[in-house]
Structure 1
Amino acid sequence: MSGVVSGFTVIFIVVGVGYLLGRTRVLGESAHEVLSRLVFFVCTPALLFHSLVTSDLSVIFSKTLVIAGGSALVIGVVYVLVARLWLHRHIPELAIGGLAASYVNSVNLGLPIAIFVLDDASFIAPLLLFQILIYSPIALITLDLTVTDPALGHASRSATLRDAVVAPLTNPIVLGGVAGLTVSALGRQPPTAILEPMRMLGNASVPCALLAFGLSLTGVAVFKKGESPRRDIALATVLKIVAMPVLVYIIARWGFGETGHDLFAQVVIAALPTAQNVLVYSTRYRRAQILARDTALITTLGSIPAIAVIALLLA
């Protein structure tokens, strides 16, 4: 338990530093964007590559992939059914809401928590690859086929459909993961001259991601009356912070017989908040932006006590 407390203390302090940097604007107006792009294009691919090359390949293609990916799909479908029957939302809003309820923040918070709390980055790798290679393309194609905004235009819609297929193959995190998987499958370690720079860049991923996350928390009002779709946000939040960890516990505990640290890790990952990718998608298609934004921020705050409870019960 002391390791969990220590890990969260480290995370909160660095996020707090990022928040203060944002409030004081010491790094300028574009600090969040620059740090986020550095993490996305350089540091996280390097971290993923190094982690996969130096770990057992069976860890990636394991029950963790089935548990994490399967539970995300189930929760997303549950949101779609409830929001359709209860709130009578249209398909684009259902797609964004389903992602908000189930798409885990596996980079900005997932990797730091996997490293500092779970002491193993490989726990997050299967979910990260599932979301980028499978979940995102499904959502993007659904949005492309159902969004009827004239401003998008036919040419843009065709380009977007192409992007939905091609983007995962050009995503730097995917490329880092695929490269790591390929090298690991070959069974040969790269020379130190290659592994060492990857390790150094990968080590910068966590602190930079936490600083960027702290920067993103400044100056944003959430759940604003008259603007936010409160019922949609509440539904997505409960499913993400409560239902998804419970479902993962049931699947992992009684479906796969997991106990101890492995069970704890699976449930903690499920309790991570909504990823900022969902807001990116909603902005691209001009649908449910407030839902995506507010759910991401509320689940981020809600994940703190949720993970603390999980740690008390399972750590």
Structure 2
Amino acid sequence: MSGVISGFTVIFIVVGAGYLLGRTNTLGEHAHEVLSRLVFFVCTPALLLHSLVTSDLSVVFSSTLVIAGGCASAIGLVYLLIAGPWLRRPIPELTIGALSSSYVNSVNLGLPIAIFVLDDASFIAPLLLFQILIYSPIALTTLDLTALGRQSGTGWRSTLRDAVITPVTNPIVLGGIAGLIISLIGWHPPEAIMKSFDMLGSASVPAALLAFGLSLTGVAVFKKGEAPRRDIALASVLKLVVMPAMVYVVARFGFGETGHQLFAQVVIAALPTAQNVLVYATRYRRGQILARDTALITTLGSIPTIAVIALLLA
């Protein structure tokens, strides 16, 4: 449990620093948007490239990739199937909601917990790869095609062209693809280049957390009449309750996992919504309150959730 407490303490301190910066207006009124764009266009692509280049892909391509990735996709689909006919939101908001319900905070909280609680950082790598190379491209392509004001009536050929071109022009997707290719071909870039990407990538997590703290300034979480409460509640329940339960069933009865391996799978599934979802929402100006409130609620709620999982399975 000390690892869980340590990981959450780090997050709350950095988010708190961002909140204080926002309250004092130290960085100006547009700080949240500027910082989010920095994370989206520079820091996160550098982090993904460096992480994949320095990762052991034999560890990444394992049953954990199938379990974690498959269950995350299933939970996102469940959100769409429920929220679509029930809440009748536009596609961009549904996309942000699906991410909020299933996109795991695999870096700034996942890595500390993998190291201090699971005693093995490799547990988080498969999910990180899935989110980088599969989940994010699908979601970002959807947002690009539906949230950036594409003109209607351009025909199916233009839509098809945009669907093909959009993923390879997104900086986050490009960073992930480049890192995977470099790792697969076995090329070792010069140390100066790798240190540059490492330096920029190291700023991704704290900058995203600071942006999250800035977004909390002057707002009331789950505020009546402003926050989409039903969307937030649905995403939070799916993330904290349904996703860990689904992973347990799939890992235990589908793959026959037991002991520490099973415990690790369920703990990873119980991690809260990643702050990157808020970065995406800010970038496309859709579903920002949904992403912000779900990230905060699931971060707070994941503490007792992981504690219960530890008591039952550790």
TM-score (norm 2): 0.78
> Deviation string for 1:22-64 (max 9, x for gaps)?
1111122222222222222222222222221111112333323
In 2 relative to 1, CA 80–193 (structure 1 residues): closer, same or farther, beyond 3 Å? closer
Q: Say yes or no: does 1:112 pair with 2:114.
A: no
> What amino acid is aligned across from residue 238 of structure 1 in structure 2?
V
CA–CA distance in structure 1, aligned partners of residues 26 and 159 of structure 2: 37
> What amino acid is aligned across from residue 135 of structure 2 in structure 1?
Q
> Deviation string for 1:39-96 (max 9, x for gaps)?
22222222222221111112333323322222123223333444467x3747748944
Map of 1:238 onto structure 2: 237
Residue 243 of structure 1 deviates from its aligned partner by 0.4
CA–CA distance in structure 2, aligned partners of residues 212 and 174 of structure 1: 21
User: How many residues are treated as equivalent by the alignment?
Assistant: 302
In 2 relative to 1, CA 77–128 (structure 1 residues): closer, same or farther, beyond 3 Å? same
Q: Is 116-125 or 233-242 further displaced after alignment? A: 116-125
Trace 1:209-220 onto structure 2 (pairs within 5 A): 209-220=208-219
CA–CA distance in structure 1, aligned partners of residues 283 and 190 of structure 2: 39
SS at match of 1:110: coil
CA–CA distance in structure 1, aligned partners of residues 288 and 16 of structure 2: 26
| Structure 2 gap segments, 5+ residues each | 116-120
CA–CA distance in structure 2, aligned partners of residues 110 and 157 of structure 1: 39
Whether the 8 Å CA contact 1:45–1:177 is kept in 2: the answer is yes
Map of 2:135 onto structure 1: 131
SS at match of 1:117: helix
Residue 97 of structure 1 deviates from its aligned partner by 7.4
Residue 19 of structure 1 deviates from its aligned partner by 1.4
Q: Is 69-78 or 17-26 further displaced after alignment? A: 69-78
Whether the 8 Å CA contact 1:79–1:97 is kept in 2: the answer is no
Residue 239 of structure 1 deviates from its aligned partner by 1.3
In 2 relative to 1, CA 262–139 (structure 1 residues): closer, same or farther, beyond 3 Å? farther
Whether the 8 Å CA contact 2:44–2:201 is kept in 1: the answer is yes
CA–CA distance in structure 1, aligned partners of residues 153 and 84 of structure 2: 30
Deviating above 6 A after TM superposition, structure 1's stretches of 4 or more consecutive aligned residues are 156-161
CA–CA distance in structure 1, aligned partners of residues 243 and 171 of structure 2: 28
- Of residues 147, 152, 155, the one that matches 1:154 is 152
> What percent of counterpart residues are identical?
61
In 2 relative to 1, CA 231–179 (structure 1 residues): closer, same or farther, beyond 3 Å? closer
Residue 201 of structure 1 deviates from its aligned partner by 1.9
Map of 2:72 onto structure 1: 72
Map of 2:36 onto structure 1: 36
| Structure 1 gap segments, 5+ residues each | 145-150
Q: Is 24-33 or 288-297 further displaced after alignment? A: 288-297
In 2 relative to 1, CA 278–269 (structure 1 residues): closer, same or farther, beyond 3 Å? farther
Whether the 8 Å CA contact 1:241–1:273 is kept in 2: the answer is no
Whether the 8 Å CA contact 1:71–1:248 is kept in 2: the answer is yes
> What amino acid is aligned across from residue 134 of structure 1 in structure 2?
I
Q: Is 211-220 or 61-70 further displaced after alignment? A: 61-70
Whether the 8 Å CA contact 1:76–1:99 is kept in 2: the answer is yes
Whether the 8 Å CA contact 1:83–1:94 is kept in 2: the answer is no
Residue 311 of structure 1 deviates from its aligned partner by 4.6
Map of 2:118 onto structure 1: none
Map of 1:3 onto structure 2: 3
Map of 1:147 onto structure 2: none
